[in-house]
């Protein structure tokens, strides 16, 4: 049985996930009145494209009249470029700066960032530290449960061990540069699966994210993956800081109006 809990009473933030080609200023202008308290995200912006942004570029990232919580997500594999992008957008008033470490389609395009960063927690931390220094405060990282090079024989998805996820989170956060980790509760398959299949084939394991929140009480942990804006079960009883929905918002944006004062998710614990 689903239980609806007001955001104000359970302290769980509701996020609309960053979606390439969708969560631009125009979609955000539609979503904001429907759910004023929602934390909205930009599309992933490539750091290399923000080295010397024009005034037009900056206005498209966050128009002058845009209000409400907004996170800037950056994608990049170079500390200098990421830091420069953070400084270039400093005047736009983003509530949080995020490093993309969970997008498998970036890797398939030949770039060495996105989900491939999960293969090296120390490298991820060094990038986050450069961003945090430029930002003047801690940043966040959005990742998967794990990154795998390919499927196993017969198309099987490699198992995900909690210990591997916990080690990665510890590596990226122990210096204090990262204060918030958003976890899409699936593994990322870097080769052999399309972006859409990467959202369907790897099994959802929200139980691992719930456990992560228990093990790292000093970190903000947000659960993403397979969630809807209308099903909530026991969110207040967890240590989760936030819940993130993505494509369900594209399919049913008006659901946000109905749930503007409550957020819901059904967590299937295996």
Catalytic residue numbers read 103
Structure tokens at 107: 């890797």
Q: How are strands ordered across the β-sheet holding 220-224? A: 13-16, 242-245, 220-224, 178-184, 139-144, 96-101, 70-75, 40-46
Q: Quote the distance between the C-alpha of residue 121 and its chain's center.
A: 17
Contact 3, 261 (CB under 8 A): no
- Rounded to whole angstroms, the Cα distance separating 107 from 90 reads 28
Nearest C-alpha neighbor of 181 from the set 61, 96, 122: 96
Residues whose CB is less than 8 angstroms from the CB of residue 158 and which lie 6 or more positions away in sequence, other chains included: 146, 148, 151, 152, 187
Cα 79 from chain centre: 19
């Amino acid at each position: 049985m689903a239980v609806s809990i007001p955001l104000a009473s359970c302290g769980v933030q509701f996020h609309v996930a960053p979606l390439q080609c969708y969560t631009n200023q125009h979609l955000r202008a539609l979503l904001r009145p429907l759910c004023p308290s929602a934390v909205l995200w930009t599309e992933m912006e490539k750091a290399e494209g923000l080295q010397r942004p024009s005034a037009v570029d900056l206005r498209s990232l966050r128009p002058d009249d845009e209000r409400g919580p907004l996170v800037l997500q950056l994608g990049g594999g170079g500390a200098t470029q990421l830091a420069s992008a953070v400084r270039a957008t400093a005047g736009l008033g983003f509530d949080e700066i995020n490093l993309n470490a969970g997008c498998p389609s970036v890797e398939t395009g030949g770039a060495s960032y996105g989900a491939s960063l999960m293969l090296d927690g120390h490298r991820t931390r060094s990038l986050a530290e450069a961003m945090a220094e430029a930002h003047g405060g801690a940043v966040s990282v959005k990742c998967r449960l794990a990154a795998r090079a390919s499927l196993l024989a017969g198309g099987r998805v490699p198992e995900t061990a909690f210990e591997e996820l916990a080690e990665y989170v510890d590596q990226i956060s122990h210096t204090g540069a990262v204060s918030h980790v958003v976890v899409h509760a699936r593994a990322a398959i870097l080769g052999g699966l399309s972006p859409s299949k990467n959202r369907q084939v790897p099994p959802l394991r929200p139980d691992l994210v719930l456990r992560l929140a228990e093990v790292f009480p000093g970190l903000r942990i947000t659960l993403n993956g397979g969630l809807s804006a209308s099903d909530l079960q026991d969110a207040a009883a967890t240590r989760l800081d936030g819940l993130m929905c993505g494509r369900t918002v594209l399919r049913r944006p008006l659901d946000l109006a109905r749930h503007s004062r409550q957020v819901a998710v059904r967590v299937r614990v295996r």
